[in-house]
Amino acid sequence: MEPCIMSGLFYEILKHWILGTSVVVLDVPLLFEAKIDWLTRPIIVVWVDDLTQETRLMAQDNSSKEQARNRITSQLPLDVKRARADIVIDNSGSLEQTKSTCQ
């Protein structure tokens, strides 16, 4: 993670800690890769199977299968993130299915 982003993140967390904020949500897709998972608990991972991840990525940004696969393989596998998470949201089904598992 870029140093300026990291320092901004630390500043915001510290600010909210000082203010007594009870909950701070960090949306950090590369949390484990940046080795900052020690900053937060619980860690929530939104998991999806490989084929669905690839298909959705291709549809999202109109990338080729090879481009999507390259982006996916450049990150820590979702199965590894799932194993390290405190809470896992299975997003491999429809939006309605995902919502029903989160209630």
Q: Where are any strands of DSSP class E within 1-103?
A: 44-47, 87-90
The 3-state DSSP composition of the chain as helix, strand, coil percent (nearest 5) reads 55, 10, 40
pLDDT in tens, 2-61: 788 889 999 999 999 999 999 999 999 889 998 999 988 999 999 999 999 999 999 999
State the pLDDT confidence band at 98, using cuts at 50, 70 and 90.
confident
**Residues listed for the chain:** 103
Does the reported pTM lie above 0.85?
Answer: no
Token pair 């940004």 is at which residue? Answer: 61
Q: Is the dihedral of CA 77, 78, 83, 85 positive or negative?
A: positive
